[in-house]
Structure 1
Amino acid sequence: MTQVEAHPTVRLTPFDPPPELARYRESEPIRRMRYPDGHIGWLVTSHALARSILADNRFSARSEYKRAPVARPGADPFYGQPALPGWLVDMDAPEHTRLRQQLAGRFTARRMKDMRPRIEEIVGELLDAMVERGGPVDLVESYALPVPSLVICELLGVPYSERAQFQRNSETLFALKSTAAEAAQAMDTLYALLHGLAKDGGGDGLLAMLAADGTLDSDEIAGVGVLLLTAGHESTSSSLSLSTFALLSHPEQLALFMSDPALVDNAVEELLRYLSVFHFGVPRTPLEDVEMAGHLLKAGESVTVSLPAANRDEVWFEDPDRLDIRRKTAGHTAFGFGIHQCLGQNLVRMEMRTALPALFHRFPTLELAVPAQEVELAADMSVYGVHRLPVTW
């Protein structure tokens, strides 16, 4: 009998998932897993099974059924409980459908393309500030974090002066070491901030538009705002900083990236696949007994779909452990799959397509200011990345 193990967490290299995930995918792509609370559920590591489960409405995303795949006390106030107002990632149809329909049209690729000039302005101003300051700098603090923070603030209509507060509370929510009390307080603070903005109804950001529309109540608007504000800057910041680290660590890929502008869009998709910052996967729960790949997944048993493992599946991607910005990346699961696929994926893409080439073209001699092994990795966060990235030029 296969030994029931916990979700692997130890990386041997900065850019590769824990090696156990590859071994599991090869030998038993859906296998038993021990959750931190002692529950015995399932871990899914193949690309085909990951997409199958995420597209199957027999598998629920409701927070009442969720368990954290790794020890994360800060999730305790939210998992096992009904979803917070507006928190559509923790809902199934019809509530999820109702909320997503109010938002989807505001995050289309076309809408995000219209935002590009403003994103370019933000990027340019931050790069100018880096030039004026001179190296070395922490790229996270100087660039990778403020780009998405400024963009999501403008999109939602949140004053950028509030950034210190929401960044601090967002970090608390995503940190694995946060206590239940700390996470609950952080969420309450964020809801209070966004609730006030939603109730005020002023400005021309998304929150004001939703308030003027009148379809969602103020609690739901606040919840949608908290979700977009926290996930919108945290995931993009991690992707930008980790992508920069990866390109600096693969000079042949960086040279190709800088020499061929036509490769930028594909390079972004490959970096998203290769790095897969949601490194502990997506939780789902079968609402009924489901037979899959020779196993019976019983109703109520927790399932964790590993996005990093699915994105390194050699059945779908040739030589998947190699960063190759010319690769055909169609079908990657960095944003999930199915009806819960990341709402802000087009925004993330636009920010990365703008910010990454601008950074390297402004600083063609950009390099790490410390040895690569001294870069502090954010393995202690639910969104993987780096805490700091010292660079110079």
Structure 2
Amino acid sequence: MSSAAEPEIPDFPAARAPGCPFDPPPVWQTLRNENPLTKVRLWDGSTPWLVTRYADQRALLADPRISVDSSRPGYPHLSPHGGGSNLAFLRMDDPEHARLRRMVTAPFAIKRIEAMRPAVQKIVDDLIDDMLAGPNPVDLVEALALPMPTLVISQLLGVPYTDHQFFQENTNAIIRRTATPEERAVAGRQLGEYLAGLVGQKLTDPGDDVLSDLATRVNAGELTRREATQIGVLLLIAGHETTANMVALGTLALLEHPDQLDLLRKSDDPKVVASAVEELLRYLHITHNGMQRVALDDIEIAGRTIRAGDGVLTLNEVGNRDPEAFPDEPDTLDITRNARHHVTFGFGVHQCLGQSLARMELQVVYNTLYKRIPTLRRAVDLDQIPFKHDGFIYGVYELPVTW
């Protein structure tokens, strides 16, 4: 079906409604209800398919006829940069994707992650101690949301935390949608050179960390140094930036829903905390510009035909609000909801490798922060909080809080 058959092709991305920072753009919600598979127009004039319904998203993300390879013609690039060179297996199809991903699955296994919980708890407690001993108000992003996952992923990977400002700044350049191709290229090159240096050190002086495991595989001929470096870059970026945004944005959402915050604060049940994490992941879904794919073959879905070579965007933040999947007021934050089946971490073979780590970190933060600081509240009006509308990962640049 050609794009000419559509009465109107909306531009992508779209703006959120004023005063509704936690909700997807209303135009996509409307399309999900009225035209769940439609074309949209990107910055370069290309018109990929936008998939807004939960069931269709899961079907496509699990379909082997859909590719994540960003070098294929028709792949829907969301900005004029052509990136993907440092994203390791994130932009690869099987079997190469599976080969490289297997190299780092063990450190993210649930049992290994659970063994890290006491260490993460100590990091969170120490950071909250520093908050309470320091100035009031304070920026929660700077005081807790960003340093916590950065410390955790640094220890897990074997990256010196003292270099955190360097890799955080370069990460911001890579994920900022408005960054120029030159800015993104420089940031990618600097991060690549940095990780390559660390991998090189661990070839001869390994430790007990993920980069040392990768270096061991390089020595064994299972990986090239370039592959090990690219995996390191991917894990470093994904391991701190996503969770940091969920900590801050989730806290803000709870502060705006005091009844839900009260339920969470008063409960000592780990199941309530875990449920709250899943619901916040569903309700917020910080990857707010969709998951990009390109069709390898013709695919019949939702009464339409996606042709081979067509770009596809699965807008999972809208799928997570689909009443067919979440029938009880899906636009409402309800931490008692069974939301575990959300598609925030994707679906199929490319679902997020680090989801167990993210869940554990969020459980520790959400179970600790509001109990230790029960009077936590915003220090500024909601309209004064700077949201990340210009990034591929949604959140807030600052969250001033007081108590």
User: Which interval holds the TM-score relative to the shorter structure?
Assistant: over 0.9
Distance 2:260 2:215 in 1: 46
SS at match of 1:17: coil
Aligned to 1:292: 301
Deviations 1:310-367 (A, max 9, x none): 0000001021000000001131001011000000000100100001221111100000
d(CA) in 2 for partners of 1:342 and 1:205?
A: 20
Secondary structure at the aligned position of 1:271 is classed as helix
Aligned equivalent of 2:16: 11
Q: What CA distance in whole angstroms lies between the structure 2 residues aligned with 1:46 and 1:64? A: 27
**Stretches of structure 2 lacking an aligned partner (at least 5 in a row):** 1-5
Please state how far the C-alpha of 1:303 moved relative to its aligned partner.
0.5
SS at match of 1:331: coil
Which deviates more from structure 2 when the two are superposed, residues 145-154 or residues 354-363?
354-363
**Counterpart residue identity of residue 208, structure 1:** S
| Distance (Å, rounded) in 1 between the aligned partners of 2:147 and 2:342 | 27
Q: Which residue of 2 aligns with 1:33?
A: 40
Instruction: Out of 83-92 and 312-321, give the one that drifted further.
Output: 83-92
1:359 and 1:9 map into 2 onto residues whose CA distance is: 33
Shift in CA distance, 7/352, structure 1 to aligned 2, threshold 3 Å: same
Task: Write out aligned runs for 1:299-378 (5 A).
Answer: 299-318=308-327, 319-378=329-388
Q: Is the 8 A contact 2:279 2:340 kept in 1?
A: no
Aligned twin of 2:287 = 278
In the alignment, which residue of structure 1 is the partner of 2:3? none
Q: Distance in 2 between matches of 1:358 and 1:52?
A: 37
Q: Which runs of 4+ in 1 moved over 3 A?
A: none
8 Å CA contact 1:369–1:391 kept in 2: the answer is yes
CA contact (8 A) 2:48 2:76 kept: no
Match of 2:159 in 1: 158
Contact 2:38 2:51 in 1 (8 A): yes
Structure 2 counterpart of 1:77, one-letter code: G
Change (3 A) 1:7 1:86: closer
Q: What one-letter code is carried by the residue in structure 2 that aligns with 1:274? A: Y
Which residue identity is paired with 1:206?
Answer: V
Counterpart code for 1:330: R
Q: Which whole-Å deviations, capped at 9, do the CAs of 1:23-49 have from their partners, x for residues lacking one?
A: 000011111111211112200000000
Q: Which residue of 2 aligns with 1:243?
A: 250
Taking the aligned partners of 1:86 and 1:94, their CA distance within structure 2 comes to 16
Letter in 1 for 2:82: P
Q: Distance in 1 between matches of 2:258 and 2:48?
A: 41
Aligned-partner SS, 1:34 = coil
Report the secondary structure of 2:71's partner residue.
helix
Give yes or no for contact 1:85–1:220 (8 Å, CA) kept in 2: no
Q: Once the two structures are superposed, what CA deviation does each residue of 1:162-219 show, in whole Å capped at 9, x if it has no partner? A: 1010000000011111100100010000010111111111322100112113322211
User: Mapping of 1:1-393 within 5 angstroms?
Assistant: 1-12=6-17, 13-65=20-72, 66-69=75-78, 72-73=79-80, 76-78=81-83, 84=85, 87-201=88-202, 202-213=206-217, 214=220, 215-262=222-269, 263-318=272-327, 319-393=329-403
Structure-1 separation of matches of 2:7 and 2:105? 43
Displacement, 1:379?
A: 1.0
C-alpha deviation, 1:230, in angstroms: 0.7
3-state SS of paired residue (2:116): helix
CA distance in 2, matches of 1:164, 1:216: 29
Give the direction of change, closer, same or farther, for the CA distance of 1:172–1:113 in structure 2 (3 Å limit).
same
- What CA distance in whole angstroms lies between the structure 1 residues aligned with 2:82 and 2:160? 28
- Tell me the alpha carbon deviations over residues 60-79 of structure 1, each in whole angstroms, 9 at most, x when there is no partner: 0001133224xx33xx131x
SS at match of 1:261: coil
* Secondary structure in 2 matching 1:204: coil
Select between 239-248 and 288-297 the one with higher mean Cα deviation.
Answer: 288-297
Percent identity of the aligned residues? 42
CA distance in 2, matches of 1:218, 1:364: 48
Tell me, in whole angstroms, the C-alpha distance in 2 between the residues paired with 1:34 and 1:248: 36
Aligned length: 385
Indicate if the aligned counterparts of 1:86 and 1:220 stay in contact, CA closer than 8 A. Answer: no
**SS of aligned partner of 1:314:** coil
CA contact (8 A) 1:86 1:99 kept: no
Q: Which amino acid is the alignment partner of residue 53 of structure 2?
A: S
* RMSD between superposed Cα atoms in Å: 1.1
Q: For residue 289 of structure 1, report the CA deviation from its aligned partner.
A: 1.5
* Matches of 1:382 and 1:376, distance apart in 2: 15
Q: How big is the shift at 1:105?
A: 2.0
What TM-score, normalized to structure 2?
Answer: 0.94
Cα displacement (A) at 1:86: 6.2
- Paired residues of 2:76 and 2:294 also in contact (CA < 8 A): no
User: 1 CA distance for matches of 2:37 and 2:239?
Assistant: 30
- Deviation of 1:9 (Å): 2.2
